[in-house]
Amino acid sequence: METFEVKAYGAQSVEAPLKQLNIVRREATPVDVEIDILYCGVCHSDLHTAKNDWGGTVYPAVPGHEIVGRVTKVGSGVTKFKVGDLAAVGCMVDSCRECASCKQDLEQYCIPGFTGTYNGHDKHLGTRTYGGYSEKVVVDEHFVLRVPEHLDPAATAPLLCAGITTWSPLRHWNVGEGSNVAIVGLGGLGHMAIKLAKALGANVTLFSRSPGKEKDALELGADAVVISTDKGQMSGAKGKFDLIIDTVPYVHDVNHYIPSLNINGTLVLVGYLGGLEPVLNSVPMIMGRKSVAGSVIGGIAETQEMLDFCGEHNIVSEVEVIKMQDINEAYERMLKSDVRYRFVIDMGSLKN
């Protein structure tokens, strides 16, 4: 298979800061789209992967799965894209396309497993997949999304992960006019969840540990903010919510939020991946027919639906645009929740 080299930024080991390196991309096959990357969002999952928080990172690791760019080449069989189009790639670049999940447009739940945009198994090259902290990416057109041309491309990039990861549970749990929704954590995912839930017609509350974020949350569209460390405010929220989307990246006490679910309410975990500590107490769940669930990103058709919805409602992310060379500092700031509300890398900076 023919290949070419591009510049990228990645981690060479768990301790090493990210730095410039070269990676190989395949020449577009008949079904592929080659994209010149303009912007790439910085997701907390990028940091988890670079730091091997989940285990399984193979180095060098090139993160980045909130990709927006211009199409520079298309394979002979590509029908959805032409050279010059704005296009986007999210968290998946492949899946089996044959299993029951894939057949229902649920590629994110592909039974043999989807291929992640980074740190996945690249079936073409036999290497790991490398993400969007790079000049170009080559992806099967099925996994490439159309981007509304009138949206700011830098602020659109985070929709490809933060947007779809919160859109999918909002849709699955039928959030609409008058639903009562709460979001835990105001970061990249959290701020998109507020905007999307509001646009769907819900009453939206933010649970945050950070009193300084109240004003921002209200400006983003939240109707109320509950400081999760304040006992009085927490008991005032009892029994209120049909759906809680919990975006906290690290282990935390999920039991703390269950009393604020209404009967039949669901708390859906999208952030922390792993065993819960302290363990879940079933009593309030059983006594109120409440559920704790999980959700991962969203399918390709659902991602397109979300992008089209954002186009109609002029919804984009709140972003701080950085240079590729600033990524290590951005990770430090992300760990301190010091980002309003998504870093996005201007990939032009890698060309210099």
State the residues that interact with Zn ion by CB under 5 A. Answer: 43, 45, 95-96, 99, 102, 110, 161
Q: Which of 7, 26, 48, 340 binds ligand NAP (CB under 6 A)?
A: 48
Q: Which is nearer to ligand NAP, 153 or 188 (CB)?
A: 188
Q: Residue 3: phi, psi to the nearest 5?
A: -135, 170
CB of 210 to ligand NAP, least distance (A): 4
Q: Which of 185, 265, 299, 311 binds ligand NAP (CB under 6 A)?
A: 185
Binder of residue 170, out of Zn ion, ligand NAP, none (CB less than 5 to 8 A by kind): none
Q: Facing residues of 145 across strands?
A: 88
3-state SS, one letter per residue, for 176-234: CCCCEEEEECCCHHHHHHHHHHHHCCCEEEEEECCHHHHHHHHHHCCCEEEECCCHHHH
Q: Residue 188: phi, psi to the nearest 5?
A: -60, -55
Q: From CA 155, how far away is CA 52, in angstroms rounded?
A: 27
Interacting positions 88-117 with ligand NAP (CB under 6 A):
none
SS3 57: coil
Q: Which is nearer to Zn ion, 23 or 161 (CB)?
A: 161
**Cβ atoms within 10 Å, residue 30:** 10
Binder of residue 276, out of Zn ion, ligand NAP, none (CB less than 5 to 8 A by kind): none
Contact flag: residue 252 with ligand NAP (CB under 6 A): yes
Strand intervals (E) in the chain:
3-10, 19-26, 32-41, 67-74, 86-89, 92-94, 115-116, 136-140, 145-146, 180-184, 203-208, 224-227, 241-246, 261-269, 291-294, 319-323, 342-346
Q: Which of 60, 90, 188, 311 binds ligand NAP (CB under 6 A)?
A: 188
Q: Facing residues of 67 across strands?
A: 40, 89
Q: Which is nearer to ligand NAP, 44 or 240 (CB)?
A: 44
Q: Which is nearer to Zn ion, 42 or 258 (CB)?
A: 42
Pairing of strands 32-41, 136-140: antiparallel
Interacting positions 262-321 with ligand NAP (CB under 6 A):
270-271, 295-297
CB of 326 to Zn ion, least distance (A): 19
Contact flag: residue 194 with ligand NAP (CB under 6 A): no
Contact flag: residue 210 with ligand NAP (CB under 6 A): yes
Q: Which is nearer to ligand NAP, 189 or 197 (CB)?
A: 189
Q: From CA 329, how far away is CA 214, in angstroms rounded?
A: 25
Q: Which of 6, 50, 78, 248 binds ligand NAP (CB under 6 A)?
A: 248
Q: From CA 117, how far away is CA 10, in angstroms rounded?
A: 14
Contact flag: residue 249 with ligand NAP (CB under 6 A): yes
Q: From CA 93, how far away is CA 70, in angstroms rounded?
A: 17
SS3 105: coil
Binder of residue 185, out of ligand NAP, Zn ion, none (CB less than 5 to 8 A by kind): ligand NAP
Q: Which of 106, 160, 186, 292 binds ligand NAP (CB under 6 A)?
A: 186
Q: Judging by beta carbons within 10 Å of its beta carbon (0-12, 13-18, 19+), is residue 176 exposed, middle or buried?
A: exposed
Interacting positions 137-176 with ligand NAP (CB under 6 A):
161-162, 165
CB of 133 to Zn ion, least distance (A): 13
Q: Which residues bind ligand NAP (CB under 6 A)?
A: 43-45, 48, 161-162, 165, 185-190, 208-210, 213, 247-250, 252, 270-271, 295-297, 334, 337
